[in-house]
């Protein structure tokens, strides 16, 4: 699985099992909240198996088109495929887990 490394040079040098990308636009309250929430969830569920890349669109606006980013903050699960996107400040933990396919939908609702 990990042999098919991402061709992107920007991705982490050590190919992690979970590659996450968080798109933000500047350091807003929402983006800070999203990053904090994300770190919390990852440490809890994916400890040691993930990499997070933070892309500030204000710095790199042309990267927005690549992942079809509209809303910020947006969390993109680049790997494992399929690509999933979670928009919002990730305050609803269950939905994030569902979105990342870490939790079946039924469990989230329960």
Partner 1 sequence: MAQTRAKKDAAPAPQLKKTPTGINGLDEITEGGLPQGRPTLVCGAAGCGKTMLAAEFIVRGAVEYGEPGVFMMFEESTQELVDNMRSLGFDLEKLQRQRKLALDYVHVDRAQIQETGEYDLEGLFIRLAYAIDSIGARRVVLDTIEALFAGLPNQAILRAELRRLFQWLKDKGVTAVITGERGEGSLTRYGLEEYVADCVILLDHRIIDQVSTRRLRIVKYRGSSHGTNEYPFLIGSHGVSVLPITSLRLDHKVTDKRLGTGIPGLDEMFGGKGVYKGSSILVSGSPGTGKSSVAASFVHAACLRGERALLFAYEESDSQVLRNMRSIGLDLAPWVRKGLLQIHASRPTLHGLEQHLVLMYDLVRQFKPSVVAVDPISNLSNQHDDVGLKFTLMRLIDFLKQQGVTAMFTSLTADATGPVAASEVGVSSLMDTWLLLTNLAYNGERTRTLQVLKSRGMYHSNQVREFIFSDNGVDLVDVYLSGERVLTGTARIAQVAQELAARQLRGTDHERRMRDLANRRRALDAQIAALNAEADERAGEVQFAIEREKFEAEGTAARAREIAAASGRQKSDRVAGRNGVKSARAAR
Q: Which residues bind partner 1 (CB under 8 A)?
A: 23, 25, 30, 33-34, 37, 57-58, 61-62, 64-65, 68-74, 82-92, 95-96, 98-99
Task: Name the minimum Å distance from CB 83 to partner 1.
Answer: 6
Q: How far is the CB of 43 from partner 1 (least distance, A)?
A: 18
- The bridge status of strand 50-56 relative to strand 18-24 is parallel
Phi, psi of 8 (to 5 degrees): -65, 135
Rama region for 109: left / alpha / beta (φ>0; ψ in -120 to 50; rest): alpha
**Which residues, at least 6 apart from 27, have a Cβ–Cβ distance to it below 8 Å?**
none
Nearer to partner 1, 6 or 28 (CB): 28
Nearer to partner 1, 16 or 63 (CB): 63
CA torsion through residues 40, 10, 12, 50, sign: positive
Closer by beta carbon to partner 1, 3 or else 57: 57
CA dihedral 99, 44, 27, 31 (to 10 degrees): 30
Q: What is the nearest approach in angstroms of partner 1 to the Cβ of residue 99?
A: 3
Least Å distance, CB 2 to partner 1, is 23
Is the Cβ of residue 13 or residue 81 nearer to partner 1 in the bound state?
81
């Amino acid at each position: 699985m990990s042999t098919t490394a991402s061709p992107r040079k920007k991705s982490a040098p050590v190919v992690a099992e979970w590659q996450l990308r968080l798109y933000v636009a500047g350091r807003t309250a929402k983006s800070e909240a999203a990053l904090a929430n994300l770190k919390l969830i990852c440490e809890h569920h994916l400890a040691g198996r993930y990499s997070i890349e933070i892309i500030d669109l204000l710095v790199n606006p042309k990267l927005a088109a690549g992942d079809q980013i509209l809303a910020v903050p947006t969390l993109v699960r680049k790997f494992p495929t399929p690509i999933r996107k979670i928009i919002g400040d990730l305050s609803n933990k269950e939905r994030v887990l569902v979105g990342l396919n870490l939790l079946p939908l039924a469990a989230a609702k329960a």
